[in-house]
Amino acid sequence: MVPAPGAWWRFALQAELGSATEMRLGRLTLAFATMAALAAPASAQAPVKVGEINSYKVIPAFLEPYRKGWELAVEEINKGGGINGRPLEVISRDDNGAPGDAVRAAEELVSREGVVLLTGGFLSHVGLAIGDFAKQRKMPFIASEPLTDKIVWENGNAYTFRLRASTYMQTSMLVEEALKLNKKRWAIVYPNYEYGQSAIASFKKLMTERQPGVEFVVEQAPPLNRIDAGSVAQAVADAKPDAIFNVTFGADLQKFVREGTTRGIFKDVTVLSVLGGEPEYLDPLRDEAPVGWIVTGYPWYAIDTPEHKAFLAAYQAKFNDYPRLGSVVGYAAMISVGEALRKAKSTDPEAIVAAMKGLQHSTPFGPITYRPLDHQSTMGAYVGKIGLKDGKGVMVDWRYEPGERHLPADDVVKKLRPQ
Amino acid sequence: MIASFLIQTLNGLASASLLFLVALGLTLIFGVTRVVNFAHGSFFMLGAYMAVSFHELVGGGLLGFWGGAVIAALAVGVVGALIEITILRRIYRAPELLQLITTFGVVLVLKDVVLYTWGPEDILGPRAPGLAGAMWIFGKPIPQYDLLLLVLGPLVGLVVWLLLTRTDWGTRVRAATEDRDMAAALGINQALMFTGVFALGALLAGLAGALALPREPANHNMDLTIIADVFVVTVVGGLGSLPGAYVAAVIISVVKAWCIGIGDVRLFGTVFSFSKLTLVAEFIVMAIVLIIRPWGLFGTPQAAQRVAAASILPMPVPDMKRWWPLGLLMLALVALPLIVDRFTVVLVTDIIIFALFAASLGLIMGIGGMASFGHAAYFGAGAYAAAVAFKAGASFVVAIPTGVAFAAALAVLFGWFCVRLSGVSLAMLTLAFAQITWAIAFQWDSVTGGSNGLVGIWPPELLSSKSAYYFATLLLAGAAILLIWRSVHAPLGFLLRAGRDSRIRAEAVGIDVRIVQWRAIILAGSAAGLAGALYVFSKGSLSPDLLSIPRSVDALAMVLIGGVQTLVGPVVGAVVFITLQDWIVRATPYWHAVLGITLILITIIFPQGIVGTLRQWRQRRESAP
């Protein structure tokens, strides 16, 4: 559970190195350009600068592996000749989980550091704020993790792209599983903020359309990170559901699993859980992982496609740790950045946006395309069941669900998105 | 139905036990040292992590779990003692609430310490050995451990109560709680006692953290999620009251459990979700209790602190012959966009906005004597009203005054209740109002955009360049700051001071202190609303975090860092705080720790705030031969 302290030392060391060579007025620029200089002839020219903004201190469990992911990608891009001969340099900023701070950081990256593109984002409201800044400043922005549907639909704009399978897509994947179960009485548990609200809105809509007669017998909306798990589990059990649709994650999920298991409420019901199979949230449960739950997630230990094997080997060699989902997202986002810049052959924002539209590249999850229609990538997710292996939770009977299968019809999307 | 209700009550009681243990420590510490210990939640978190580590070290079993709880509690107690000796002891004579900022610095440091030591992932703790299962009561299962907790909480409370009432040390602690100056005069070693009480409080929080493990994983959010609830419990129960803390913990936990048990209710055709009410239930309870019983359920009015009250000197009237520093500053500010790069303009725009925010809080805190833990309510309200008006089609020129007007209206409402209280109760009532406002913004999707907030709120073409917007901000916020400064030495300021320094005498000469305070709150609220409205147009978007507790803490930090009893202090504080934060966040990945240490050092070196302490030094130098 606790990562090797080595990772931390490296982190600190990097900051030290940075301060010796690159720090001016306290600005820390990661010394990738220097590293690349030794590896490739790319160093002859000035680096292409890219700005990265994330809530590293608010969501460390996801974002520390995420940072490692993009560090690996930058290294690979620069080893492979950089951006058409120029090294790629990433300048990273912490937004403290506040949209206002993120917008200020974005402004600093654009006007002081001269970055040609922005990427990052975890929290939906922060992602939306950076997206809106991107629109205002006409600056390309690749949102990696924010799951909100709005970032590419209701609040979508010409400059914002999103990598990860959205709330709608993840929900849609689980709805297919829910339909197979053909259960009538559903209980719903979700964190009370936009992510949870959109997930259950989509879930209820899709279920009602496709399975007439479905009932939602209880809805519990605990505040994020503050679930009273015992009471919630009890309230769910009292409604006597046939199945549970759960959207909580992180510490809330762990509390819910433990209280529910102790009280035996999961014994005769099937549980569907969004994100429940992601190592970030599954691994801390250890041998208490809820066997039989149907989840979306990332079975890194079992995927044997060549692209994933290569990623896994490189990641483990560099960090001596296994990748989490955050690692893949960070890695794939930076690969998108590199490919877009290579394809654009220019640092002009409009050229980068044009290159992003329809951009195709390989990721550890397989090939993805950024749809010209709504700027959503077709990166999918893995759907499977939770099982136990050697006292640890793993995903079993899993399959990859490509993202394109779980997006609404084009005319529906067009109506959602401002044209 | 009845069975569910009873089970939910038991759930609530089990949660209440843990909350009570943490609150018990906080209330003890406050009672004796008058420190509002923000880091108390961090002790809770530290206890959980230490117990997990001990459990893994020993390899589980009875010793691993219970031994871990004892060891973790003792270790956190030692950490508490060390913090008291190295840090807090240096600032007991500082203005009230300065310790809030110091302990906030401790929160930040401990956050990074935990992240560094235990890594970023949550750690699921052990279950209590032999108590992993459930018992059936009224035909429903309830975890055996919950039943143990239900007893354990009050039991520990009883031990502490016996310690306080049946031992010499306890008698001295109670004496110091009643009147710490008198206790000192009678020969009680204050330093030793403060350390002891602080260690005991920390120990209780650490114990609660360890005991929470079977119910919640050790995680990085434990500190700030519990601290708000604990403040509420302490205040609802009555500061310093041990039975009060237990009753309040029970009320809050049981109300939440019932809300969850009730779930969705159909009322007049619409569905009302009691489950969503848990977002803010404790603050609603606190607001109601404070309005009815200002000192909490079991509390009594706090004895005035003799030292602090006498030390407030009037702010000197600015010497207009020495206008040139201000003139020079004005000139520099006007010329700024010509000299510096675009980002600095953006940064200084932020600084000006927060300077106004801080100055508005400084007015009611400094000469008003009314601390506020919820000043972000007005900032956020101004921002939201301006944004909503703008989204509804109003222009920038209309949206800004709309923001100010709405914030003022809110200040009229909140202020009416607040002026009926004083001291910590007043501050906590402002916190409750701010949290309720936050919850409304968070839930009212159709108007406020819910948790995502609103985007696309940019100033008109004319002000779209960063320097144009800078000038607009400088003009509006600058004027508002000058107005606030002016009001300090205007009748409003004099009346406020009179009310603060001696309410009875002020009333004797015919001042209606409440009306004066109410007017000051409305002025401060409007000014904060203007700051919020300007902020939203500079960022283009807003979300409920503008109304959240961290924003209010930011404002408090700015005021106290600059100097609460000084005119320009809050503005200086805003400049220092925003600049430091902006700089430190970029300089190191461990910015929490660095910012925390910086805050601690500033509060130790400048206990009267930067401006206040510098003035003291100058006065001392001038009076020296």
Same domain? A386 vs A405? yes
Phi, psi angles (nearest 5°) of residue B542:
-150, 160
Is residue A6 scored above 80 in pLDDT? no
- DSSP per-residue letters across A8-28: HHHHHHHHHHHHHHT-BTTB-
- B541 sits in which H/E element: strand B540-542
Same domain? A126 vs A222? no
pLDDT at A17: 37
Residue A106 included in any domain: yes
**pLDDT tens per residue across span B123-164:** 998 988 888 888 888 888 889 999 999 999 999 999 999 999
**pLDDT tens per residue across span B297-306:** 988 776 554 4
Residue A375 included in any domain: no
Distance from CA of A361 to the nearest CA of B (A): 31
Half-sphere exposure of B91 (CA within 13 A, CB side): 30
CA B566 to mean position of chain CA atoms? 22
Contact yes or no for B264 and A192 at CB 8 A: no
Residue A73 included in any domain: yes
Q: Are strands A270-277 and A243-246 parallel, antiparallel or unpaired?
A: parallel
**For A93, which residue in chain B has the nearest alpha carbon?**
B586
Is residue B446 scored above 60 in pLDDT? yes
From residue B60, how far is each of B54, B146, B213 by CA, in Å? 9, 20, 13
The one-letter amino acid at A65: P
C-beta of residue A255 within 8 angstroms of C-beta of residue A246:
no
Classify residue B467 as exposed, middle or buried by CB count within 10 Å of its CB (0-12, 13-18, 19+).
Answer: middle
pLDDT at B625: 62
- DSSP per-residue letters across B407-464: HHHHHHHHHHHHTT--HHHHHHHHHHHHHHHHHHHHH-HHHH-GGG-EEEE---GGG-
Same domain? A178 vs A149? no
Q: What percent of chain B has pLDDT over 90?
A: 61
**For B140, which residue in chain A has the nearest alpha carbon?**
A263
How far apart (Å, rounded) are the C-alpha atoms in residues A325 and A168? 18
Residue A374 included in any domain: no
The one-letter amino acid at A14: Q
Is residue A19 scored above 60 in pLDDT? no
Nearest to B249 by CA among B470, B428, B13, B83: B13
pLDDT at B580: 93
**Looking at the partner chain, which of A60, A96, A155 has a beta carbon nearest the beta carbon of B585?**
A96
The pair of three-digit structure tokens given for residue A145, joined into one six-digit string: 């993790």
Mean of pLDDT values over A128-153: 94
**pLDDT tens per residue across span B385-426:** 999 999 999 999 999 999 999 999 999 999 999 999 888 889
pLDDT at A16: 37
3-state secondary structure of A216: strand
Q: How confident is the model at residue B251 (pLDDT cuts 50, 70, 90)?
A: very high
**Looking at the partner chain, which of B111, B275, B455 has a beta carbon nearest the beta carbon of A155?**
B455
Q: What percent of chain B has pLDDT over 70?
A: 98
Distance from CA of B602 to the nearest CA of A (A): 20
pLDDT at A32: 42
Same domain? A281 vs A350? no
Task: Please give the mean pLDDT across all residues of chain A.
Answer: 88
The pair of three-digit structure tokens given for residue B558, joined into one six-digit string: 């700015």
Is residue A411 scored above 50 in pLDDT? yes
pLDDT at A25: 33
- A272 sits in which H/E element: strand A270-277
**pLDDT tens per residue across span B489-520:** 899 999 999 888 888 889 999 999 999 999 99
Assigned fold of B2-292: ABC transporter involved in vitamin B12 uptake, BtuC (1.10.3470)
Residue B221 with chain A: CB contacts under 8 Å: 225, 251
Phi, psi angles (nearest 5°) of residue A317:
-65, -40
pLDDT at B606: 92
pLDDT at B306: 47
Contact yes or no for B261 and A238 at CB 8 A: yes
How far apart (Å, rounded) are the C-alpha atoms in residues A290 and A258? 9
Is residue A358 scored above 70 in pLDDT? yes
**pLDDT tens per residue across span A376-398:** 999 999 999 999 999 999 999 99
Residue A148 included in any domain: yes
**For A19, which residue in chain B has the nearest alpha carbon?**
B587
Contact yes or no for A94 and B263 at CB 8 A: no
**pLDDT tens per residue across span B515-553:** 999 999 999 999 999 999 999 999 999 999 999 999 999
Mean of pLDDT values over B241-266: 90
The pair of three-digit structure tokens given for residue B351, joined into one six-digit string: 């600084």
**For B551, which residue in chain A has the nearest alpha carbon?**
A98
Residue A200 included in any domain: yes
From residue A290, how far is each of A145, A293, A323, A388 by CA, in Å? 26, 6, 22, 9
How far apart (Å, rounded) are the C-alpha atoms in residues B246 and B17? 8
From residue B265, how far is each of B260, B274, B410 by CA, in Å? 11, 7, 30
Same domain? A286 vs A329? no
**pLDDT tens per residue across span A23-66:** 333 333 344 444 444 444 444 689 999 999 999 998 899 999 99
CATH code assigned at A91: 3.40.50.2300
DSSP symbol at A387: E
pLDDT at B302: 64
Same domain? A59 vs A102? yes
Residue A8 with chain B: CB contacts under 8 Å: 116
Contact yes or no for B540 and A129 at CB 8 A: yes
How far apart (Å, rounded) are the C-alpha atoms in residues B571 and B563? 9
Same domain? A256 vs A354? no
**For A187, which residue in chain B has the nearest alpha carbon?**
B263
- Residue ranges making up the domain that contains A262: 168-302+381-416
- DSSP per-residue letters across B24-63: HHHHHHHHHH----TTHHHHHHHHHHHHHHHHHHHTSHHI
pLDDT at A44: 60
Domain parsing of chain B, residue ranges: 2-292, 340-549
Same domain? A295 vs A308? no
Contact yes or no for A222 and B278 at CB 8 A: yes
Residue A219 with chain B: CB contacts under 8 Å: 263-264, 273, 275
**pLDDT tens per residue across span B177-204:** 888 788 888 888 888 889 999 999 999 9
Same domain? A400 vs A281? yes
Same domain? A128 vs A191? no
Q: How confident is the model at residue B267 (pLDDT cuts 50, 70, 90)?
A: confident
Mean of pLDDT values over B287-299: 90
Q: How confident is the model at residue B92 (pLDDT cuts 50, 70, 90)?
A: confident
Same domain? A180 vs A156? no
Is residue A18 scored above 50 in pLDDT? no
pLDDT at A27: 37
Same domain? A235 vs A354? no
Mean of pLDDT values over B338-362: 93
Residue A70 included in any domain: yes
Task: Please give the mean pLDDT across all residues of chain B.
Answer: 90
How many structural domains are present in chain A?
Answer: 2
